[in-house]
Amino acid sequence: MARESAVRVGLVYPELLGTYGDRGNALVLAQRCHWRDQRADVVEIAAGEPIPDSLDVYLFGGGEDAPQAMAAAGMRASRANVERAHANGAVVFAVCAGFQNIGTSYTLPDGTVIEGMGLVDAATVAGSPRLIGEVVVEPDPPLPRLTGFENHGGRTTLGPGLRPLGRVIAGGGNGNGDGVDGAFGERLLATYLHGPVLPRNPALADLVLTWILGALAPLDSVWEERLRAERLDAGAKTGMAKWWRDLRLARG
Catalytic residue among 33, 86, 96, 152: 96
96 carries an active-site annotation: yes
**DSSP-derived pairing of the beta strands 105-107 and 122-139:** parallel
Secondary structure of 1-36 as H, E, C letters: CCCCCCEEEEEECCCCCCCCCCHHHHHHHHHHHHCC
Nearest to 182 by CA among 91, 81, 93: 93
For residue 85, the number of C-alpha atoms closer than 13 Å in the C-beta half-sphere is 23
Cα→Cα distances 61→5, 197, 215, 229, Å? 25, 11, 26, 24
In three-state secondary structure terms, 187 is: coil
Q: What is the DSSP letter of 115?
A: E
What does the alpha-carbon distance between residue 182 and residue 162 come to, in Å, rounded to a whole number?
Answer: 10
194 carries an active-site annotation: yes
Nearest to 7 by CA among 224, 206, 223, 221: 206
Catalytic positions, written as ranges:
96, 194
